[in-house]
Chain A
């Protein structure tokens, strides 16, 4: 028999993503409502940042969540990283839309390595704070290059054209910026 404490804890503990996915596999529509409540803000924020248009961002978000509904199995491998994966998908799909190209299927393999659970509000807000602080510490050129590539969806060739920097420099800055961010957040 559980102790009273366990019972109380069980009542407030959110259902893990994996269990929600199992429910989606069984066709449980209510599990989708939970996913939406858990991750819509992240997905929408990223999509809106790239697309700068709320209707388009909503479309991207809709498609991403529908993909969970249609093929939950393809998300099963995300383990604890579903939220992170959805954030990356939001960025990639938004850039696809920006560039008016079909969503790439090459990125569907889940490889994401992250230990953070973005479904947990406290964990996420701590991570957001650290990430924002780490971005502020980046050298301005790195920060600008990363922003152009990640949020504005510009290719390195386009960035090269706009900034006059060499391709090597652009690649290098993007890479250094992301590595610095990871280390900054981990520290």
Chain B
């Protein structure tokens, strides 16, 4: 490039600030396209502008702005190009407090399910999906974002909002216990797809999220019951909640009313009569223990 034509330093500043007359703006832009020297100087000036921009008094945008953006984003949906064939395997994150059970293989994960489910099942199930997908870093973040959206949408009702906050707290608390529930090791001849479940439990607050899938349908008059097995020896199993799977074998228990501060050594699922039982009735269908 002809060095004699470099944009002068003064003009680079005016260009960066968009203060040059239109014709001169164009000339400078044309030169900048071809001149790395001027481009690098412009980059420095823009870096200076960032520093100065940061001195603007920090203000939080109005709360509806986020919703407005996401609405327009949804309206301008994209044609999604096909996934690259050789997809990079995300690292699988194993449950931090449980080494007993392997987490399901990546092939079984369906991140898109989160969005679909959210539309018709609501945030409770989404919260639980976080438990399942939470084992994988990327997906956990995605679900947390969904959770943030869901939480924002729930803000009309303070009570619901409080509940959503509890869910988020349970999800995010690094001390929360995560347990994968599987067929007990003694069970023989597993069915075509094993039922499985995941629990995130925060003893401090009593917050609990549970999601199960591939559950067998129940006979009429029966229900599944989730049990917390207290860590303290001699304490009876605590009923967490009752649940019935949907047509696809999915079920969830979200933030049941649990006492605070009960340390758990594990969780189990049994089949009980409608209305639940006072203590678990064998056999235990799914179980997960802390090592």
Contact = CB atoms under 8 A, between A and B. Distances in A.
B42 A111 contact: yes
A69 B73 contact: yes
A33 B77 CA distance: 14
Contacts of B89: none
Contacts of A10: 91, 93, 137
| Size bracket, chain A contacts | 35 or more
A49 B54 CA distance: 11
A44 B93 contact: no
> What class of interface size applies to chain B in its complex with A?
35 or more
Interface of B is mostly: helix
Contact of B61 (A28, A58, A109, A175): A58
Interface string A51-93: 0001001100110011001100000000001001101101110
A21 interface: no
Chain A binding surface, main DSSP class:
helix
Contacts of B45: 178
A8 interface: yes
Nearest to B10: A171
Contacts of B40: 111, 113
B91 A182 contact: no
Return the 3 tightest CB-CB contacts between A and B, nearest first.
Answer: A113-B43, A27-B78, A49-B56
Interface of A: 1-2, 4, 7-8, 10-12, 14-15, 25-34, 36-37, 40-42, 44-46, 48-49, 54, 57-58, 61-62, 65-66, 69-70, 81, 84-85, 87-88, 90-92, 95-96, 104, 106-107, 109, 111-114, 116, 118, 124, 127-128, 131-132, 134-135, 146, 149-151, 155-156, 171-172, 174-175, 177-179, 181-182, 185
